[in-house]
């Protein structure tokens, strides 16, 4: 009767078929076969997720599948939400991948791993025991790693990105492993049900350790500062549809992990947990968007924007936890709803933005905004779709991102009513962080759209760009449809969000009411009517256009030359580039960004006054990475170098090591026993 179980089974089976198709089908038909099957995997997961969100529940135990513990699976509304989002992204991306699979992406390895990665994305939220969760989590990390390095033959930077990603994701896994094993040991069971009922047995110190380690692991997966270093490397270097999967679906699972472990399994906790979450989120939001604002690589910009958006989500989670710790359940539910809605919105627009970036990359081979431009005339559909995605990302109405940011701001603003000094200090700063992130996001996406797609082409590659094939456009069109739906009738998600919150252990009624297509906060004052807003904006634009036509007496529009300041005709090189666009912002945030610049003047040999060549270079390196990771890496490298001396090749010395080791061990045993 419930479609949940069958849908999940179908999804898994289709994933198997898709992997087999990736291995067996001949190269020509391979992308199509794999793409269709993977899209079906996503569609089945979407069906399952939606059915869970409408109230379905399902669980299963397969003891024979894994030795010792067996496999435990369960679906509630919370996992349903993340499964539905991942499923939708997978379906769209798989369709897109059919057309995108050039440049060696139709190789057997890539095509076989893609469905596996897609399947783990939809299955991680289904896991209901520590061993199952960790297994799927690691499978997801490993398969995504293989996809990140898919283009290793084309660029040397791919290998570096792969190493960074592999190391960071596995450090995360170690932290998560320790956290969950600690939890399971003290709670007396490893299924999520046992953890949930045994959470009260943990001492506060252990609870704190478990949450801290899990937060580090999950926040790193979500690309939070300072554990974000892998994200701006892996996202740009991965093939674009894989970037879309990672950025729109995989990072969400970090959020899922925090909600599942923090709210559901541990049942909330000390205030510092949530203050920490909120701080990490706020820092990531501002730092991420600041790096995006000065980035010139289109995909790197989008990657940093992911850091920003997930930061906003974490602000919501932190606020929800804080409110819950003060007993303000309604506010907590509102903040959590804002966070979850932002996950959905972000998935929709970020998938579209990455797919559009992939479409540009395919047409021009360029990711550098400084060399793009003028795509509007050559790739009109891609430009329009990117513009729609950017509207979602800048958090302005009538975009979809605005609605969740509005909810987030509402929850933060109303939270000040709580009688606590901590809150009255924290919440204004959180609002300021959200506002600064929103302002910088506007500048960032104006830059991405205005410099990358509008204006005139700055390179021959951009000038000879061709529109993408229909299958890619259709996939992006589906994303656009999702964005429009989320932007105009977000109220449709009110009930599912309330169910997801209930599953996360915040037992309140629906926080959002939707009378006549409005979004209304139930227990607090505030309402928003996105549909009417969009309609009135459209109507006013049309009215203004009609009025102008009437007054201008229907004169025809004429093409005119650009104003050339009295000099020669303006060339494409005179245009503002992404670097110059971001220069004022970079100068304002000089102290935070710490750009490195280098002027190299070569004088003519005979004279010190005549200059032959001036070379100017400016880089804005990721400062946190620079300060935090480089010293550690240098130290590790020097330890490694020093350790080389230990292995001199003398057998006598090795025997000496063995002897000394044995003696030390025996002495240690004698002392401790």
Partner 1 sequence: MNALGAAAAAAQVALVIAGAPWLAGVMRQVRARLEGRAGAGLAQPWRDLRKLMRKQPTTPVGAGPAFRTAPLLLVATTAVVAALIPLASTATPVSGSADLIVVVALLALGTVALALAGLDTGTAFGGMGASREMTIAALVEPTILMSVFALSIPAGSTNLTTIVSGAAGNPARLASPASLLAAFALAVVTLAETGRLPVDNPSTHLELTMIHEAMILEYSGPDLALVELGAQMRLTVLLGLLASLFAPWGIATTTHLAALLVALVLFATKVTLLAAALAAAEVFWAKVRLFKVPELLAGSFLLALLAVSASFFLTGK
Using CB under 8 A as the binding rule, the residues of this chain from 644 to 663 that contact partner 1 are: none
Query: What region does 129 belong to: left with phi over 0, alpha with psi -120 to 50, or beta?
Result: beta
Please give the C-alpha separations between residue 289 and each of 220, 244, 352, in angstroms, as whole numbers: 17, 18, 18
* Shorter beta-carbon distance to partner 1: residue 561 or 608: 561
561 binds partner 1 (CB under 8 A): yes
Q: Of the candidates 28, 558, 605, 615, which one interacts with partner 1 according to CB under 8 A?
A: 558
Query: Which x/- pattern, by CB under 8 A, does the window 9-48 give for partner 1?
Result: ----------------------------------------
Euclidean distance between CA atoms 332 and 326, whole angstroms: 9
> Smallest gap, in angstroms, from Cβ of residue 458 to partner 1?
9
Please give the C-alpha separations between residue 344 and each of 385, 493, 556, in angstroms, as whole numbers: 18, 10, 44
Q: Of the candidates 54, 464, 580, 630, which one interacts with partner 1 according to CB under 8 A?
A: 580
556 binds partner 1 (CB under 8 A): yes
Nearest to 169 by CA among 141, 150, 147: 141
Q: Of the candidates 74, 278, 409, 498, which one interacts with partner 1 according to CB under 8 A?
A: 409
* Shorter beta-carbon distance to partner 1: residue 150 or 352: 352
* Shorter beta-carbon distance to partner 1: residue 561 or 610: 561
Q: Of the candidates 157, 424, 602, 664, which one interacts with partner 1 according to CB under 8 A?
A: 424
Residue 152: Cβ-neighbour burial (10 angstroms; 0-12, 13-18, 19+): middle
Euclidean distance between CA atoms 650 and 324, whole angstroms: 64
Euclidean distance between CA atoms 455 and 450, whole angstroms: 7
* Shorter beta-carbon distance to partner 1: residue 562 or 610: 562
Please give the C-alpha separations between residue 427 and each of 10, 314, 469, 472, in angstroms, as whole numbers: 45, 14, 47, 43
Q: Are residues 22 and 108 in contact, defined by beta-carbon separation less than 8 angstroms?
A: yes
Q: Of the candidates 86, 130, 149, 440, which one interacts with partner 1 according to CB under 8 A?
A: 440
545 binds partner 1 (CB under 8 A): yes
528 binds partner 1 (CB under 8 A): yes
* Shorter beta-carbon distance to partner 1: residue 559 or 650: 559
* Shorter beta-carbon distance to partner 1: residue 573 or 644: 573
Q: Of the candidates 417, 481, 592, 611, which one interacts with partner 1 according to CB under 8 A?
A: 417
* Shorter beta-carbon distance to partner 1: residue 344 or 423: 423
Strand partners, 287: none
**Host H or E run for residue 527:** strand 527-528
> Smallest gap, in angstroms, from Cβ of residue 328 to partner 1?
14
467 binds partner 1 (CB under 8 A): no
Q: Of the candidates 221, 300, 350, 447, which one interacts with partner 1 according to CB under 8 A?
A: 447
* Shorter beta-carbon distance to partner 1: residue 56 or 374: 374
Q: Are residues 19 and 116 in contact, defined by beta-carbon separation less than 8 angstroms?
A: yes
DSSP state of 505: T
Binding range to partner 1, per CB under 8 A, among 78-86, 274-282, 406-414, 492-500: 406-414
> Smallest gap, in angstroms, from Cβ of residue 565 to partner 1?
8
Q: Are residues 122 and 90 in contact, defined by beta-carbon separation less than 8 angstroms?
A: yes
Q: Of the candidates 529, 621, 624, 629, which one interacts with partner 1 according to CB under 8 A?
A: 529
Residues 377-396 that bind partner 1 (CB under 8 A): 377, 394-396
Residues 284-303 that bind partner 1 (CB under 8 A): 293
Euclidean distance between CA atoms 190 and 207, whole angstroms: 16
Residues 6+ apart with CB under 8 A from 75: 4, 8, 48, 52, 56, 57, 58, 59, 83, 125, 126
Euclidean distance between CA atoms 304 and 218, whole angstroms: 17
345 binds partner 1 (CB under 8 A): no
> Smallest gap, in angstroms, from Cβ of residue 293 to partner 1?
8
Beta strand 527-528 pairing with 71-75:
unpaired
Q: Are residues 258 and 251 in contact, defined by beta-carbon separation less than 8 angstroms?
A: no
Binding range to partner 1, per CB under 8 A, among 52-60, 146-154, 333-341, 431-439: 431-439
Nearest to 528 by CA among 586, 569, 487: 487
Residues 223-252 that bind partner 1 (CB under 8 A): none
* Shorter beta-carbon distance to partner 1: residue 43 or 462: 462
Q: Of the candidates 154, 174, 574, 667, which one interacts with partner 1 according to CB under 8 A?
A: 574
Euclidean distance between CA atoms 194 and 129, whole angstroms: 9
* Shorter beta-carbon distance to partner 1: residue 440 or 476: 440
> Smallest gap, in angstroms, from Cβ of residue 405 to partner 1?
9
Q: Are residues 356 and 380 in contact, defined by beta-carbon separation less than 8 angstroms?
A: no
* Shorter beta-carbon distance to partner 1: residue 79 or 444: 444
397 binds partner 1 (CB under 8 A): yes
64 binds partner 1 (CB under 8 A): no
Q: Of the candidates 39, 434, 479, 497, which one interacts with partner 1 according to CB under 8 A?
A: 434
Q: Of the candidates 94, 122, 324, 431, which one interacts with partner 1 according to CB under 8 A?
A: 431
Residue 240: Cβ-neighbour burial (10 angstroms; 0-12, 13-18, 19+): buried
Binding range to partner 1, per CB under 8 A, among 49-57, 226-234, 541-549, 655-663: 541-549
Residues 496-525 that bind partner 1 (CB under 8 A): 518, 524-525
Residues 582-641 that bind partner 1 (CB under 8 A): 582-585, 587-588
Please give the structure tokens belonging to residue 359. 């479409």
> Smallest gap, in angstroms, from Cβ of residue 555 to partner 1?
5
Return the SS3 of 374: coil
Euclidean distance between CA atoms 25 and 489, whole angstroms: 42
């Amino acid at each position: 009767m419930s479609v949940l179980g069958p849908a999940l089974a179908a999804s898994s089976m289709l994933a198997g078929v898709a992997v087999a198709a990736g291995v067996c089908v001949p190269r020509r038909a391979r992308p199509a076969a794999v793409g269709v099957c993977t899209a079906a995997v996503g569609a089945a997961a979407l069906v399952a997720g939606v059915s869970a969100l409408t109230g379905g529940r399902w669980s299963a135990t397969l003891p024979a599948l894994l030795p010792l513990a067996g496999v435990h699976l369960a679906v509630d509304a919370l996992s349903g939400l993340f499964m539905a989002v991942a499923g939708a992204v997978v379906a769209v991306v798989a369709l897109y991948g059919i057309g995108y699979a050039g440049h060696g992406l139709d190789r057997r390895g890539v095509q076989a791993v893609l469905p596996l990665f897609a399947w783990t994305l939809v299955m991680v939220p289904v896991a209901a025991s520590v061993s199952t969760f960790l297994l799927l989590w690691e499978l997801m990390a490993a398969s995504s790693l293989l996809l990140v390095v898919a283009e290793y033959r084309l660029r040397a930077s791919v290998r570096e990105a792969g190493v960074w990603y592999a190391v960071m994701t596995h450090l995360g896994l170690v932290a998560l492993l320790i956290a969950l094993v600690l939890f399971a040991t003290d709670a007396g069971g490893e299924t999520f049900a046992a953890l949930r009922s045994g959470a009260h047995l943990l001492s506060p110190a252990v609870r704190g350790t478990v949450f801290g380690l899990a937060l580090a692991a999950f926040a790193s997966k979500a690309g939070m500062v300072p554990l974000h270093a892998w994200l701006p490397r892996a996202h740009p270097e991965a093939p674009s549809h894989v970037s879309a999967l990672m950025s729109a679906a995989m990072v969400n699972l970090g959020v899922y992990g925090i909600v599942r472990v923090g709210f559901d399994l541990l049942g909330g906790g000390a205030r510092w947990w949530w203050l920490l979450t909120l701080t990490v989120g706020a820092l990531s939001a501002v730092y991420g968007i600041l790096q995006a604002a000065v980035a010139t690589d289109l995909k790197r910009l989008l990657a940093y924007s992911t850091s920003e958006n997930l930061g906003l989500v974490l602000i919501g989670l932190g606020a929800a936890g804080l409110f819950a710790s003060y007993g303000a359940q309604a506010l907590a539910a509102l903040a959590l709803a804002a966070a979850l809605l932002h996950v959905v919105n972000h998935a929709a627009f970020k998938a579209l933005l990455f797919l559009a970036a992939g479409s540009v990359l395919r047409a021009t081979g360029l990711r550098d905004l400084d060399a793009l431009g003028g795509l509007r005339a050559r790739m009109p559909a891609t430009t329009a779709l990117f513009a729609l995605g950017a509207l979602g990302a800048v958090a302005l109405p009538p975009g979809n991102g605005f609605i969740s940011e509005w909810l987030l701001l509402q929850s933060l603003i109303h939270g000040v009513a709580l009688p606590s000094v901590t809150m009255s200090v924290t919440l204004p700063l959180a609002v300021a962080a959200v506002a600064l992130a929103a302002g910088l996001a506007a500048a960032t996406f104006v830059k991405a759209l205005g410099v990358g797609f509008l204006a005139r082409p700055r390179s021959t590659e951009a000038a000879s760009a061709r529109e993408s094939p229909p299958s890619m456009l259709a996939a992006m069109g589906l994303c656009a449809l999702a964005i429009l739906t989320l932007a105009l009738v977000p109220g449709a998600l009110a009930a599912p969000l309330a169910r997801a919150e209930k599953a996360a252990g915040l037992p309140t009624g629906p926080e959002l009411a939707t009378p006549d297509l409005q979004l209304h906060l139930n227990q607090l004052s505030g309402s928003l009517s996105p549909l009417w807003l969009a309609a009135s904006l459209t109507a006013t634009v049309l009215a203004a256009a009609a009025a102008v036509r009437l007054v201008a007496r229907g004169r025809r529009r004429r093409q005119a030359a650009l104003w050339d300041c009295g000099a020669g005709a303006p060339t494409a090189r005179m245009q503002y580039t992404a670097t110059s666009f971001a220069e004022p912002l970079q100068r304002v945030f000089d102290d935070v960004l710490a750009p490195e610049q280098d002027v190299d003047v070569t004088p003519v040999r005979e004279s010190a006054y005549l200059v032959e060549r001036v070379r100017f270079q400016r880089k804005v390196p990721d400062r946190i990475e620079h300060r935090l990771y480089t010293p550690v890496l240098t130290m590790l490298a020097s330890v490694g170098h020093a350790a080389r001396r230990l292995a001199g090749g003398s057998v006598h010395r090795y025997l000496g090591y063995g002897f000394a080791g044995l003696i030390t061990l025996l002495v240690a045993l004698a002392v401790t026993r």
